[in-house]
Amino acid sequence: MRRALNALLAFGLTATMAMADTAFVTCQSGDELSVLDIDAGTERARWPLPGKPAGIAVTRAGRVYTVSAGSKHVRLKDGATGETLAERALEGGPTGIAADPERGRIFVSDWYNARLWVLHAETLEPLGELATGESPAGIALSRDGRFLASADKEANQVSVFDAETLAPLRQIPVGTRPFGLGFAPDGRLFVGNVGSNDVSVVDVEAAKVVATIPVGERPYGVSFTGSRAFVTNQYDNSLSVIDLQTLTHEAKIAVGEYPEGIDTTSDGDRIVVANWFDNTVSVVDAKTLSVLSKIETCDGPRAFGAFLLGGE
């Protein structure tokens, strides 16, 4: 029995390792999910995913959570097989999603009702609701697990909660129409403001913006590696590079048309960007700031959230 159990555990570990740096890309137009091998530069599979999917959250254990805004469905899929393990329809406007697997919770933003749903990570059963500002979109959990934040687009603010107790902590004004956001390794919160074409850098503890950095037109998603932040610029077909030490705009990288979702590979060496209008992802060298490759996806890739297994 013990030998069989050890073999099973070894198999599970091998399977997870084989999926490292696998991208799960929601394709809104095609009602599909592209499964990409970033190292090989190929598409492994396409799984049906109805309801115009956009939001996504992938955990290190290979759980894939998606939000289909058109049908208002949240789904949990097995990242190895594509099997749907749980599914739930939510009344309102489900948009962004973030996972807190350590506490067994999922968070989904409700665009129409100024709230976050708290869902059970395995059953997707609703556990509670958190009040936000108007039109919450992106959601992020700090790396130390202390803070949960939402970008409240029409309120021009971020809402911050204690991630353990879910108590509301503060609402912090940022730029115009914030949409995507992410916590840097040092705990600062970077917020892409699609209305003011800049990034707000927020000290969450002090509840204030410590820097505002102009970027390209319509900044959407944010990711990090090393000493840099990377921001997708939808209307500019580019990626802005921000120096985390000086908080200055360091460079701009041309990617595909209408870039949106962005994530970092597990080794920290590459940035992966979903190009909505190109039906591709761009793989960017985080050190040389050059585009290494493009990988074809299904129709209309959005990948709004953490979409890389093994990523940052």
In a domain? residue 7:
no
- CA–CA dist 198, 175 (Å, integer): 7
> Rounded distance, CA 3 to CA 201, Å?
52
**What is the residue whose two structure tokens read 């990711």?**
223
Residue 6, pLDDT > 60, answer: no
Q: Please provide the size of the chain in residues.
A: 312
pLDDT digits (tens, 9 = 90+) for 245-301: 999 999 999 999 999 999 999 999 999 999 999 999 999 999 999 999 999 999 999
Domain-embedded: residue 1: no
Contact 115, 99 (CB under 8 A): no
11: confidence class by pLDDT, cuts 50, 70, 90: very low
pLDDT recorded at residue 310: 72
Q: What mean pLDDT comes out for the span 11-26?
A: 64
Closest CA to 136 of 163, 106, 122, 156: 156
Single pTM value for the model:
0.93
Tell me the average pLDDT across 219-223. Answer: 97
Residue 149 domain flag: yes
Quickly tell me which residue has 């799960």 as its tokens. Answer: 24
| Confidence (pLDDT) at 120 | 98
pLDDT, position 19: 55
105 in a domain, yes or no? yes
Would the pLDDT of 9 be above 50?
no
CATH number of the domain enclosing 90:
2.130.10.10
**Position 20 pLDDT exceeds 80:** no
In a domain, 299, yes or no: yes
pLDDT for the residue 2: 34
Q: What is the mean pLDDT of the chain?
A: 93
**16 lies in a domain?**
no
- Residues with Cβ within 8 Å of residue 9, at least 6 apart in sequence: none
Q: Using alpha carbons, select from 197, 178, 303, 209 the residue that is nearest to residue 249.
A: 197
Instruction: Tell me, yes or no, whether 8 lies in a domain.
Output: no
Q: Mean pLDDT throughout 85-105? A: 97
pLDDT in tens, 113-157: 999 999 999 999 999 999 999 999 999 999 999 999 999 999 999
The better pLDDT of the pair 3, 78 is held by: 78
Q: What is the pLDDT of residue 287?
A: 96
Residue 6 or 214, more confident: 214
Work out how many domains the chain is built from and give that number: 1
pLDDT for the residue numbered 312: 60
Cα–Cα distance, 153 to 196 (Å, whole number): 12
In a domain, 198, yes or no: yes
Give the number of other Cβ atoms within 10 Å of residue 217's Cβ.
Answer: 12
The reported pLDDT for the residue numbered 129 is 98
Boundaries of domain holding 291: 22-309
Give the pLDDT of residue 12. 43
DSSP, collapsed to helix, strand or coil, labels residue 283 as: strand
Mean pLDDT of 92-117: 97
